[in-house]
Amino acid sequence: MSRNYSRLASVEESRNLRRAITYIVLAIFGLVLLFFLGIPALGKFTAFVSDLGKSNKPITSNDKTPPAPPRFNTFSDYTNQNQISLSGTTEPGATIKLTFNGNGSETMADKEGFFTFSNLNLNDGNNAFFATTVDAAGNISQQTQEYKIVFDNKPPELTVDNPSDGSTFFGSKQRQVTIQGTSESGVSVTINDRIIVVDDDGKFQYTLTLNEGENKFVIKATDQAGNFIEKEITLNFSS
């Protein structure tokens, strides 16, 4: 009885071992099939994703918020150059539309939001401009304020009304003289590099003490655009 049981147990162990080996082989075969069948599917998926990336169809966006208006860097309100460049910042990658003296132009901001409009031609006198920003979703900002730049390349007027060039003064009572003149409103006047007050009508005067002999004075008027004119007078003094 014990011998028969031992033989049955041995047969059962052999059967279980063969069954386990069969399962292992089937599992390995299944994994191999899955592996080879999965490659084409993976390739098709990769191609699909690649085609999506190359598609020219626009991406739908729900962005309806307009960007902030562009901000211009500091520029001079007056210039004596007939061309200028304007730069500033806005939303990175956005388009800036500039209207300059009624003419439209546009440029794109870089990835940091910086932009530049170069070599803009100026008319004599006032030049007006404003701008807007258009973001990637097509939203348009509010218009900036209208800015103005004055182009003026002509020197200001300057006359020395008193004393006349070459005048001679005598004695202690005449040693102090007052130089008087007229220029334009808003100009800066210097006499021998000393700043002189100019009133709203462009008139100025400056009292000084003469040295013995020849005294030279350079009167210079400079307007807001940087144009200037100089006049030199010589005054003589003898005690």
Tell me: the pLDDT tens digits for 83-98? Answer: 999 999 999 999 999 9
Q: Of 43-47, 90-94, 132-136, where does mean pLDDT reach its minimum?
A: 43-47
Q: Which whole-number Å values give the CA distances from 100 to 90, 141, 169, 204, in the listed order?
A: 18, 17, 57, 38
Which element (helix H / strand E) includes 78? strand 78-79
The token pair that represents 48 in the structure block: 């699909």
Q: Please tell me the predicted confidence (pLDDT) of residue 16.
A: 67
pLDDT category of residue 61 using cuts at 50, 70 and 90: low
Q: Give yes or no for residue 101 having a pLDDT over 60.
A: yes
Please give the radius of gyration of the chain, using alpha carbons only, rounded to the nearest integer. Answer: 44
Q: Give yes or no for residue 45 having a pLDDT over 50.
A: no
Looking at the chain, the whole-number percentage of residues with pLDDT higher than 70 is 77
pLDDT category of residue 24 using cuts at 50, 70 and 90: confident
Q: Please tell me the predicted confidence (pLDDT) of residue 11.
A: 44
